């Protein structure tokens, strides 16, 4: 049986749609339905002697989340630098301002070490991963 080009394309589309439907049926799992919390029953406004008032469920009071415990701020006595090194990079982080002082890419392009942080530009524009805040006092406190 010889099919022309248009019939082959239509057959390919039809087979693709059948495959997508079968894949969805057999392999894609539906997420479980969300379990909704039971809402407290509304209290009846009937007379106190009515049987429906005696059967009303007690209203549950939501418990507020506990307040987070305050954490003490810790300041270092001196500036330190930490080096994180991998097969392809070497990054030097500073505790002053929590910035990346040096970011070296190893083996690019021909086994050379390539420094990606320009110290002269960083003095004017700021180091990578540095934060800039509108409040100058808070900015100075964060840099320490």
Which pLDDT does position 44 carry in this prediction? 46
Is residue 92 pLDDT above 50, yes or no? yes
Which pLDDT does position 113 carry in this prediction? 86
The Cα 40–Cα 54 span in angstroms is 15
User: Tokens at residue 77, please?
Assistant: 């006595």
The DSSP secondary-structure symbol of 55 reads T
The tens digit of pLDDT for each residue in 23-75 reads 998 888 877 777 766 555 544 454 555 555 445 556 677 788 888 888 776 66
Q: Average pLDDT, stretch 107-135? A: 84
Residues 6+ apart with CB under 8 A from 114: 104, 105, 108
- Which is higher by pLDDT, 76 or 138? 138
pTM (two decimals): 0.44
Comparing 26-40, 77-91, 103-117, the range with the smallest average pLDDT is 26-40
């Amino acid at each position: 049986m010889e099919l022309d080009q248009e019939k082959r394309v239509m057959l390919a589309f039809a087979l693709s749609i059948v495959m997508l439907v079968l894949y969805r049926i057999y392999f894609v799992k539906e997420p479980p339905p969300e379990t909704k919390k039971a809402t407290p029953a509304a209290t009846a406004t009937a007379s106190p002697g009515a049987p429906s008032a005696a059967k009303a469920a007690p209203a549950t009071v939501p418990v507020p989340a506990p307040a987070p415990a305050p954490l003490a701020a810790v300041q270092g006595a001196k500036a330190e630098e930490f080096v994180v090194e991998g097969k392809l990079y070497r990054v030097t982080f500073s505790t002053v301002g929590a910035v990346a002082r040096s970011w070296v890419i190893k083996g690019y392009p021909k086994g050379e070490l390539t420094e990606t942080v320009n110290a002269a530009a960083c003095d004017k524009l700021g180091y990578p991963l540095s934060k800039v805040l509108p409040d100058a006092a808070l900015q100075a406190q964060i840099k320490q």
